[in-house]
Amino acid sequence: MAALALFADALVRAIPLILTGLAVALAFRGGVLNLGAEGQLIVGAAASAAVSIRWEHALGSAVIIFALIGGALAGVIWAAIAAELKRRFSVLEIISTIMLNFIAIHLVSFLVRGPMQEPTHIYPQTPSIAASARLPLVIQGTRLHAGLIIALALAGILYWIFRDTAAGFRIRAVGAGPRAAQSAGLIDIDWLSWKVFLCSGAIAGLAGAIEVNGVTFALYENISPGYGYTAIAVALIAALNPLGVIASGLFFGALETGAIALQRDFAIPSSIASMTEALFILATLVLGSIRGRSLLFSRRE
C-alpha cells in the first residue's frame, strides 16, 4: 500500500511538471523564450482559488470547470503582459517573464494576507475549497487526481498539432527558421509568436489551477516549489517533443518524490535530487550540441 501511495505521489508531482513542461515546449518550439511558466502557474493558481471559493456553493461541482478556465485565463493575461511588452517596446521576453515571476509571487503573498485570507486571519492562506470544487481522484485511497488525464491528453493534442496541422507546422517553422518562415512561407511571425506566447501562458495557468483544485485545495505562499523552472529542464530533456515531456515530467516527478522520501527516512539531503536534475540538464545540452555539430560537419555530400 505504501508503495502504491509513493507511486501515486510521484505521479501527482509529475502532473504540474508535465503541464508546465508542455507550456515551455510549445513556446520554445515557436521561438518564444517564455521563462515565465512559474509566474503564469502561480497566477493561475490564485485565479482558480478565487473562482472556487467565490462560486463553490452557487455552482456546485460545475465550479471546477470555471476554476480551470479561470486559471488558464489568468495565465494568458500574465503571458500577455510580456507578449505586449515584446510587441510594442521590443522588451526581451527572457527578462520580462522572469520579472513577472517575482511579481506573481508577491501578488500571492499580498492576496493570502489580505483580500483572500481565511476568515480567522491567523494563517497566510485562503480557506480550503469545498469538496465539490476538487478534482476527482483517479485511484481511490491515493492523492492521484484527474489532472493526470488532462496532462496526458494535452500532451497528445500538442503532439498531434505539431505533427499533423498547418498551425503546428507554422509554429515549428517560425522556431526553426524565422527568416525563412517569413520570406519563403509568408508567415506573419510577430502575430504567430504572440499567439504561441498566450497559449503557453494558458497551459501554465491551467497547471496552477489543477494544482489548487487537485492537490493543495487552498492558495498559500510557496505553492510552487519552482515547477515553472524545472519545466524548462523537462522540456529541454524531451527535445521539446510533447510526448517526451510526459516521460521527462514523470522522471523528474519520481526524482523529487524520491528525494523527499530519502530525506525523511534516511536524512539524505534532498538537494542531491536538485544536483541530479542539474547534471541531467547539462548532459542533455552537451549531447544536443554534439549532435548539432555533427550535422554541421556532414553538410556536404
Partner 1 sequence: MSSDAQQPSPTAVAEAADLELRDVSKRFGKVVALENASIKIQRGSVHALLGENGAGKTTLMRIAFGLIAPDSGSISVRGERVRFESPADAIAARIGMVHQQFSLIPQMTVAENVALGGRGRYDRNAVARAVNAISSRMAMKLDPFAMVSTLTSSERQKLEIIRTLAHDARILILDEPTAVLTPHDIGDLFVQLRAFASDGGSVVLITHKLRDALAHADEVTVLRQGHVVLNSPMAAVNQQQLAGAMLGDIARDTARDTARDTARDPPRHTARHTAQTSSPEVTRPTTVLELTDVTIHDDHGIERLNKVSFGIAAGEVVGIAALEGSASAMLRMIGGRLEPDTGRITRPERIGFVPEDRQNEAIIPTFSLTENMALGSAGSLSGRMHWTDVRQKTEAIVAEYDVRASSAMSAAGSLSGGNQQKFVLGRELSSNPGLLVLENPTQGLDVHAAGAIHERIRRAKAAGTAVVIYSSDLDELAELSDRVMVVNNRKISVTKADRNSIGEKLLDTAG
Please report, as ranges, the residues that interact with partner 1 according to CB under 8 A.
163-170, 172-173, 176-177, 179-188, 295, 298-301
In the complex, least distance from residue 181 CB atom to partner 1, rounded to whole angstroms = 7
* Nearer Cβ to partner 1 (4/285): 285
In the complex, least distance from residue 166 CB atom to partner 1, rounded to whole angstroms = 4
- Measured distance between the N- and C-terminal CA atoms of the chain, rounded to whole angstroms: 59
d(CA 156, CA 258): 27
Backbone angles phi, psi at 197, to 5 degrees: -55, -45
Could you tell me which of 210, 208, 190, 199 has the C-alpha nearest to residue 158?
Answer: 199
Cβ atoms of residues 53 and 129 within 8 Å: yes
In the complex, least distance from residue 88 CB atom to partner 1, rounded to whole angstroms = 18
d(CA 201, CA 195): 10
CA torsion through residues 82, 85, 90, 95, sign: negative
Cβ atoms of residues 42 and 104 within 8 Å: yes
Cβ atoms of residues 32 and 92 within 8 Å: no
* Nearer Cβ to partner 1 (94/176): 176
Q: Within a 10 A sphere around the Cβ of 191, how many other Cβ atoms?
A: 10
* Nearer Cβ to partner 1 (106/291): 291
Could you tell me which of 221, 227, 202, 208 has the C-alpha nearest to residue 49?
Answer: 208
Q: Within a 10 A sphere around the Cβ of 82, how many other Cβ atoms?
A: 28
Could you tell me which of 296, 265, 249, 238 has the C-alpha nearest to residue 11?
Answer: 249
In the complex, least distance from residue 295 CB atom to partner 1, rounded to whole angstroms = 7
* Nearer Cβ to partner 1 (165/271): 165
Sequence-distant (≥ 6) Cβ neighbours of residue 109 within 8 angstroms: 124, 221
In the complex, least distance from residue 79 CB atom to partner 1, rounded to whole angstroms = 24
* Nearer Cβ to partner 1 (121/300): 300
* Nearer Cβ to partner 1 (4/180): 180
In the complex, least distance from residue 191 CB atom to partner 1, rounded to whole angstroms = 11
d(CA 38, CA 8): 23
In the complex, least distance from residue 253 CB atom to partner 1, rounded to whole angstroms = 30
* Nearer Cβ to partner 1 (164/265): 164
